[in-house]
Amino acid sequence: MPDFIVSSETAGERLDLWLARQFPNHSRTEVQRWIKAAAVLVDGTPAKPSHRVEAAQCVSVSPPEVVLEPSLQAEAIPLDVLYENADLLVINKPAGLVVHPAPGHPGGTLVNAVMHRCPDIEGVGGEKRPGIVHRLDKDTSGIIIVAKHDRALRDLQRQFKNRTVQKEYLALLEGRLDQPHGRITAPIGRHPTARKRQAVYPNTETAGVREAVTDYRSEAVYSASISHTNAAGHFTLVRAMPHTGRTHQLRVHFAWLKHPIVGDSLYGYKKQRLNLSRPFLHAERLRFMLPSSGESVEFHAPLPPELAALLATLEDLPPGM
């Protein structure tokens, strides 16, 4: 642990600024992390980054050990590619496939698969998320775009930011909706106590809470016998059009309406009423402009077999029943 003595010439400076000069090969942000982690002691006591150093004070530093993240590896994972050109890939992602490496998922992701197909994509837009324009949850299936170079990435991200990309999902909901179509305008932010969940808030004044808007319309209403009860239940297939892209947006919005998505044990029933081990949520349609030509294109991904098979077991109810 190196020790430094504060000179009279530098007395009065902020601790983080003063310390950053002692470690010219490290950023001020990194130095601030050391201080907040109590790896920096001033006269034997932890201090804040804003602490003003005094002449003759002893500053002891024990930088945390740097743990290097493993580099991304290309993996020969099969991909269902709906479209490909020099700018991008349009992929039909299966449920269960994580989009990019993260804690707990260092490999076996969509990114690893794309790197095997397109080796030049490494580094496009970020080391750990090369080419990723938008996300789908691990257990959500359907259409996702991957950019092959930075210019295409910026163009596609701009389209998503400007809300000119048209997205449509199919979701099977618990119960029968009172309103067969409508708009949900309910801000979303991280749940105050459950780390893995998001929640609806009354407004966007709370830090981290952002506007979230979803349009929906009913496609069909079904009836089915519930396996662990003697009663029949109703279920509604909806087409959902999110205008924003918040984490878990559709799952949170429909749960907020008291009609959670079938198979979603995080926001819906802990004991599912239908036999489905993933949320019935599928990114079925995507419309956007090709970056190089500006041509408007639209892609569709059929329901995966497990979702189509579930629908086939339900009884389709005529309108009004």
What are the tens digits of pLDDT across the range 96-106?
999 988 777 77
Q: Per mean pLDDT, which range of 30-34, 208-212, 310-314 is the poorest?
A: 30-34
Compute and round to an integer the Cα radius of gyration of the chain.
Answer: 25
pLDDT number for residue 127:
60
> Which of 258, 261, 249, 132 has its CA nearest to residue 186?
249
> Is pLDDT above 70 for 228?
no
Q: Which two structure tokens, joined as six digits, stand for 314?
A: 């339900």
Catalytic residue among 16, 87, 137, 264: 137
- The predicted pLDDT at position 138 comes to 94
What is the arithmetic mean of pLDDT over 233-239?
Answer: 95
pLDDT of residue 231: 60
Q: What are residue 143's DSSP bridge partners?
A: 92
Q: What are the Cα distances from residue 82, in Å, to 90, 158, 239, 286, 298? A: 5, 22, 21, 11, 11
Q: Give yes or no for residue 297 having a pLDDT over 90.
A: yes
Higher pLDDT, 277 or 30: 277
Domains of the chain: 3-61 (3.10.290.10), 68-162 (3.30.2350.10), 165-321 (3.30.2350.10)
Q: H-helix or E-strand containing 152?
A: helix 150-161
Please report the pLDDT score of residue 66 as a whole number: 52
Q: How confident is the model at residue 110 (pLDDT cuts 50, 70, 90)?
A: very high
User: Is the predicted pLDDT of residue 230 greater than 60, yes or no?
Assistant: no
Task: Give the model confidence (pLDDT) of 38-89 as tens digits.
Answer: 889 999 899 999 999 999 999 999 877 655 456 788 899 999 999 999 999 9
pLDDT band for position 23 (cuts 50, 70, 90)? confident
Q: How far apart are CA 44 and CA 60, in angstroms?
A: 7
- First-to-last alpha carbon distance for the chain, in angstroms, is 75
Q: For the stretch 186-211, what's the b/e string if a residue is b when 16 or more beta carbons lie within 10 angstroms of its beta carbon?
A: bbbbbeeeeeebbbbbeeeeeeebee
Distance of CA 26 to the CA centre of its chain: 30
Average pLDDT of the chain is 90
User: Cβ(37)–Cβ(49) under 8 Å?
Assistant: no
137 is catalytic: yes
